[in-house]
């Protein structure tokens, strides 16, 4: 199994390790719930080095990405700005979701998921025009520092990053020496994501921990992103669904003359399904992926579900027939019973605050 540069630190901290897309990654360091709360209330950090940074270089980099991605890189006008996008196949199915940073006119950095990294690289190579090169940056480690106190604690731990990052707006990144620091994340909280040389990652991790940033595993990462209403690739979407069926229509730019892979398919196919949020009405169980959902206009399925530590109730993302109405009640088949749940518009939690109305 692959190991990140922080693997020895996880072992030393007593992490429970699990196979995630072929990587031996921390699930938790003792209590997933406490790690979740640390990020909502204070500061936590995640080793995300299993994800892959791909540098897209060359004079044609922007035009190449405009043709490859469903979101339009032309929206990136200021260096450092980031954009979230889907990578689609010709049928409009989601190959991956990613973040692309505009670094220079001839340099963009794309961050893709671990499980899809090889597939993405092959796909992008297949689309690549001359004058564009793709560079896999396995030499970089990634650490996400997240939570209301994440920025202050990151600066205390790594003061050399402060000058470059103090004025960073949300969804912007900047180079600070050999570290790329961005105000992005996957938790619904403020914070930074750091890309730094692999050899320097253990020291940065240790300094962050010493500043009171709690190491958090993939378990908390999953409940945090679910509360934040963010999709997990391979679970809430894959090649069999379009961005419009995965709650990601807002990331697709269909207007204008720009062509991109999957555009024609998206224009010709009216989405039959959509992704919505669900909140369990009572406390009769826990919503989980693959449970069947019965709505007024047809049946669907939960794609991600679990117990929300912030709301102290069960929440889910579910793919239902198009036309799901927020506020409407549905029934979910939970271990042989039908439990009442309500359709809500994600996110469920943002910046530590519940967004789900009481019922």
Rounded to an integer, what distance in angstroms lies between the CA atom of residue 252 and that of residue 246? 12
- Token pair 């190449």 is found at 64
Shortest gap between Cβ of 44 and another protein (angstroms)?
Answer: 15
DSSP 282: S
**Among 137, 288, 292, 294, which residue sits at the site for another protein (rule: CB under 8 A)?**
288
Query: Nearer to another protein by C-beta: 113 or 308?
Result: 308
Question: Alpha-carbon distance 248 to 237, whole Å?
Answer: 10
| Helix 61-68 and helix 117-127, axial crossing angle in degrees, nearest 10 | 110
325 token code pair:
């109405």
Binding segment for another protein (CB under 8 A), chosen from 29-37, 122-130, 145-153, 179-187, is 29-37
| Residue 28 contacts another protein per CB under 8 A | yes
Rounded to an integer, what is the distance from CA 356 to the centroid of its chain?
A: 21
- For residue 268, the SS3 value is helix
31-39, 125-133, 251-259, 340-348 -> range binding another protein (CB under 8 A): 31-39
Residue 67 near another protein by CB under 8 A: no
**311 interacts with another protein by CB under 8 A:** no
Q: Can residue 168 be called a binding residue for another protein (CB under 8 A)?
A: no
Report 32-61 residues binding another protein (CB under 8 A).
32-33
CA dihedral 192, 193, 197, 202 (to 10 degrees): 70
Site string for another protein, 233-272 (x = CB under 8 A): ----------------------------------------
Phi, psi of 126 (to 5 degrees): -65, -25
- For residues 26 and 200, give the distance between their C-alpha atoms in angstroms, rounded to a whole number: 19
Q: Please say which residue, 33 or 91, places its beta carbon nearer to another protein.
A: 33
Instruction: Based on the shown chain and the rule CB under 8 A, indicate whether residue 335 belongs to the binding site for another protein.
Output: yes
* Least gap, CB of 31 to another protein (angstroms): 6
Per CB under 8 A, the segment of 68-76, 98-106, 284-292, 349-357 that binds another protein is: 284-292
């Amino acid at each position: 199994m692959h190991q990140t540069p922080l693997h020895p630190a996880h072992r030393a901290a007593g992490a429970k390790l699990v196979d995630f897309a072929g990587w031996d990654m921390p699930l938790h360091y003792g209590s997933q719930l406490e790690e979740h709360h640390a990020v909502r209330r204070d500061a936590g950090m995640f080793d995300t080095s299993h994800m892959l940074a791909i540098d897209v270089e060359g004079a044609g980099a922007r035009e190449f990405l405009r043709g490859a991605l469903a979101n339009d890189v032309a929206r990136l006008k200021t260096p450092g700005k980031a954009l979230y996008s889907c990578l689609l196949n010709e049928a409009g199915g989601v190959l991956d979701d990613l973040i692309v940073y505009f670094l220079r006119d001839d340099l963009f950095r794309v961050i893709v998921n671990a499980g899809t990294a090889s597939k993405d690289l092959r796909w992008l190579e297949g689309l690549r025009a001359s004058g564009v090169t793709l560079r896999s940056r396995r030499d970089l480690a990634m650490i996400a520092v997240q939570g209301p106190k994440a920025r202050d604690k990151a600066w205390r731990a790594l003061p050399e990053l402060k000058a470059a990052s103090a004025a960073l707006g949300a969804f912007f990144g900047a180079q600070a020496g050999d570290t790329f620091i961005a105000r992005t994340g996957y938790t619904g909280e403020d914070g930074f994501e750091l890309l730094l040389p692999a050899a320097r990652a253990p020291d940065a991790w240790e300094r962050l921990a010493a500043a009171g940033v709690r190491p958090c595993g993939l378990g908390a990462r999953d409940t945090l992103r679910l509360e934040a209403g963010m999709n997990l690739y391979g679970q809430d979407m894959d090649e069999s669904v379009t961005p419009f069926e995965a709650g990601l229509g807002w990331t697709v730019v269909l207007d204008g003359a720009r062509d991109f892979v999957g555009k024609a398919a998206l224009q010709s196919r009216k989405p039959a399904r959509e992704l919505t949020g669900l909140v369990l009405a009572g406390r009769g169980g826990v919503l989980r992926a693959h449970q069947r959902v019965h709505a007024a206009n047809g049946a669907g399925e939960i794609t991600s579900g679990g117990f929300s530590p912030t709301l102290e109730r069960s929440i889910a993302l579910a793919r239902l027939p198009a036309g799901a109405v927020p506020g409407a009640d549905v029934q979910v088949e939970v271990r042989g019973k039908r439990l009442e749940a309500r359709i809500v518009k994600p996110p469920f939690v943002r910046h530590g605050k519940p967004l789900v109305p009481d019922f």
